[in-house]
Amino acid sequence: MSQLGTNVPLPASPDEAVLEKVPNPHPDALYLARFTVPEFTSLCPVTGQPDFAHLVIDYAPEAWLVESKSLKLYLGSFRNHGAFHEDCTVAIGKRIVETLSPKWLRIAGYWYPRGGMPIDVFWQTGAPPDGLWLPDTGVQPYRGRG
């Protein structure tokens, strides 16, 4: 691990970010790990305006866990990255899968309105394993002020 316990600047882009893993102390157990990111930001690739999302990342680890500081830096690297909501959400899920090879992963991206319309993006690696406790993401659909 090159980032944990050191002063690391925010990566300039998702491609430059280093996503690190640590050994899972319970690779024989079927369990869910959840990261909730209520203040995710990226940029609209057309206008350059900021976009905001509430992300929920659930995964069932196998041999590896994602190191949380590296995940925080990776997600923060999207702040100056221009991409559509769908691209950001799916790319994050795929990058975590590429790094960890988990038993299963899903990511839910609840994006705040752009052009008056919220866009929610959901991606998963397949059906969840039998017996995995899978709680609701806990994020309500966007309702505006009403």
88 is a catalytic site residue? no
Greatest extent of the chain over all pairs of C-alpha atoms, in Å: 47
Q: Which of 15, 28, 51, 88 is an active site residue? A: 51
DSSP state of 81: -
Q: Which of 44, 58, 87, 88 is an active site residue? A: 44
State how far the Cα of 57 lies from the Cα of 134, in Å rounded to an integer. 12
51 is a catalytic site residue? yes
Q: How far is CA 83 from the centre of its chain?
A: 15
Measured from the Cβ of residue 61, the count of other Cβ atoms closer than 10 Å reads: 24
Give me the active site residues, please.
Answer: 44, 51
